């Protein structure tokens, strides 16, 4: 046990005990960001991260509730963890506490405690700043559930990571700028699990981004469930949009690449378009989910845009930034989706052409309006539609990657590659690029010529910048 010099009382000693936390993250990038913030906050109580669950004093599952399969994973994982916990405790290695965080925690709260007696703590995404205190409350065997939406600013209360910790996490980092959603698409749990839209003030974001840059981060991806609905308080007291925030962040030295995700088609305003047009450091890649190509289904989904609106928007984005690559999300088999509706989805994909995409079978989620719709689609039909859609999207992705053959592009080198002497990095279009390069170039942005295009990554040769 490491005891600080000045500590004498029992309370101080427990506060600084050396303990290990194992965190497993499911779901979206925001959960990845949150897991890091939870670890930063636990670090203040002496917890350091471990990759080995067997040696963990605390296991946290940071969960996702977006589709049924994602939520069920939690309960099956808990069965496995219980065995590890029992073995560890039988071997006299000490107690193992188990916490559930994330969107399943928020959605199911008490139900988790009832269904999984092994769980000590359930904590919703809005209460992460309270995590160390909540954990302390479980001492002595109490089981704690915290799923309220507190009014205080959790981001203000969460401690920042130490510089060495940030550096270790890599040269590309996430930064949550907006959380929650007020859109209420009829299939989606996010407005219920993450609450109403909240934007962090500009100064808070700039300060966090400076900290990242200072620790050697070169690329920051701004996160939000509806990141382009961002409207945080700016330095002039006015609410700033995402475009203004991006212009501000370009002033930070060392931050050479900016990205943002996920956006909603309704919130692409003129300043954001101007940012795509004018900012070289804003990478030419945009994830803009459309979900369906059928106006009838889009309406039933409450997406509040049509096929035409989306296609026109894409035209505007492409004229602002001609080399932009698009990515999207699609749902097949939404209640009532006919063959014709699905053909419209195929049609919008052909018309827009995507560089990459995610597509899912509709999964009814408890408490969402679409789940109660009587016209649910058979699973076999969903599977067939998904297969056809993914076939088309995969072909588009392949064609996009192939179009880069022979091109020169900048690559941010992030980590060691598959083979010795190789590094892997990211192209401006978020493709993985493998290059022969020495380790000391990790964190550098280099120019690479693409020689080969594989199924998952590109292979290239570094071009001498002094050439």
Write the DSSP string, 221-237. EEE-TTGGG--EE-TTS
If the CB atoms of residues 262 and 344 are measured against ligand SAH, the closer one turns out to be 262
351: Cα separation from own chain's centroid: 28
445 near ligand SF4 (CB under 6 A): no
d(CA 77, CA 74): 5
d(CA 467, CA 316): 36
Provide, rounded to whole angstroms, the least separation between the CB of residue 88 and ligand F3S. Answer: 28
181 near ligand SF4 (CB under 6 A): yes
If the CB atoms of residues 75 and 184 are measured against ligand SAH, the closer one turns out to be 184
Site string for ligand SAH, 433-462 (x = CB under 6 A): ------------------------------
27 near ligand F3S (CB under 6 A): yes
Size of the site for ligand SF4 (CB under 6 A): 10
225 near ligand SF4 (CB under 6 A): yes
Site string for ligand F3S, 192-221 (x = CB under 6 A): -xx---------------------------
33 near ligand SAH (CB under 6 A): no
Write the DSSP string, 309-371. HHHHHHHHHHHHSTT-EEEEEEEE--TT--HHHHHHHHHHHHHH--SEEEEEE----TTSGGG
Report which residue's Cβ sits closest to ligand F3S: 27
Contact 369, 362 (CB under 8 A): no
**Residue 103 binding: pick among ligand SF4, ligand SAH, ligand F3S, none (C-beta 5-8 Å cut-off by kind):** ligand F3S
Closest CA to 22 of 70, 57, 63, 66: 57
**Residue 64 binding: pick among ligand F3S, ligand SAH, ligand SF4, none (C-beta 5-8 Å cut-off by kind):** ligand F3S
Write the DSSP string, 81-99. HHHHHHHHHHTT----EEE
Size of the site for ligand SAH (CB under 6 A): 17
d(CA 466, CA 235): 40
66 near ligand SAH (CB under 6 A): yes
d(CA 159, CA 131): 12
**Residue 365 binding: pick among ligand SAH, ligand SF4, ligand F3S, none (C-beta 5-8 Å cut-off by kind):** ligand SAH
Place of tokens 């296609």: 311
Residue 73's contacts (CB-CB under 8 Å, 6 or more residues apart) are 26, 63
Helices (H) and strands (E) in the chain, counts: 16, 21
Residues 273-292 within binding reach of ligand SAH (CB under 6 A): 289, 291
Give the interface with ligand SF4 as residue ranges (CB under 6 A).
181, 183-185, 188, 190-191, 225-226, 264
Give the interface with ligand F3S as residue ranges (CB under 6 A).
27-28, 30-31, 64-66, 102-103, 189-190, 193-194, 225
């Amino acid at each position: 046990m490491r005891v600080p010099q000045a500590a004498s009382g029992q309370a101080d000693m427990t506060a600084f005990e050396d303990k290990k936390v194992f965190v497993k993250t499911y779901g979206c990038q925001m959960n990845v960001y949150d897991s890091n913030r939870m670890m930063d906050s636990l670090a203040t109580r002496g917890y350091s991260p471990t990759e080995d669950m067997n040696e963990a004093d605390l296991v946290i599952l940071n969960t996702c509730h977006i589709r049924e399969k994602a939520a069920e994973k939690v309960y099956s994982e808990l069965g496995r963890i219980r065995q590890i916990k029992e073995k560890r405790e039988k071997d006299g290695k000490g107690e193992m506490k188990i916490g559930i965080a994330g969107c399943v925690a928020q959605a199911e709260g008490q139900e988790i405690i009832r269904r999984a007696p092994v769980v000590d703590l359930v904590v919703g995404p809005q209460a992460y700043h309270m995590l160390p205190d909540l954990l302390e409350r479980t001492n002595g065997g109490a089981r704690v559930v915290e799923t309220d939406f507190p009014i205080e600013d959790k981001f203000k209360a969460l401690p920042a990571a130490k510089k060495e910790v940030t550096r270790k996490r890599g040269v590309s980092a996430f930064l949550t700028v907006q959380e929650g959603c007020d859109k209420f698409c009829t299939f989606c749990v996010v407005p219920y699990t993450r609450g109403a839209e909240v934007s962090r003030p500009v100064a808070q974001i700039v300060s966090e981004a400076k900290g990242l840059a200072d620790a050697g981060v070169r690329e920051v991806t701004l996160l939000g469930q509806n990141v382009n609905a961002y409207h945080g308080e700016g330095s002039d007291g006015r609410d700033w949009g995402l475009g203004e925030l991006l212009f501000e962040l370009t002033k930070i030295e060392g931050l050479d690449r900016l990205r943002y995700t996920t956006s909603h088609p309704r919130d692409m305003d003129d300043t954001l378009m101007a940012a795509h047009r004018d900012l070289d450091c804003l990478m030419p890649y945009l994830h803009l989910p459309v979900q369906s190509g059928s106006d009838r289904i889009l309406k039933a989904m409450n997406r509040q845009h049509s096929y035409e609106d989306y296609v026109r928007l894409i035209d505007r984005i492409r004229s602002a930034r001609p080399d932009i690559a698009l990515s999207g999300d699609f749902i097949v088999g939404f209640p009532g989706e006919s063959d014709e509706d699905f053909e419209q989805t195929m049609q919008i994909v052909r018309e827009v052409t995507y560089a990459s995409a995610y597509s899912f079978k509709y999964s009814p989620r408890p408490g969402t309006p679409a789940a109660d719709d009587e016209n649910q689609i058979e699973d076999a039909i969903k599977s067939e539609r998904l297969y056809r859609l993914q076939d088309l999207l995969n072909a588009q992705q392949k064609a996009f990657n192939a179009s880069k053959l022979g091109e020169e592009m900048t690559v941010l080198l992030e980590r060691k590659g598959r083979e010795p002497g190789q590094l892997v990095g990211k192209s401006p279009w978020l493709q993985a690029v493998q290059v022969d390069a020495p380790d000391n170039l990790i964190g550098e942005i280099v120019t690479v010529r693409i020689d080969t295009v594989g199924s998952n990554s590109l292979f290239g040769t570094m071009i001498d910048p002094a050439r």
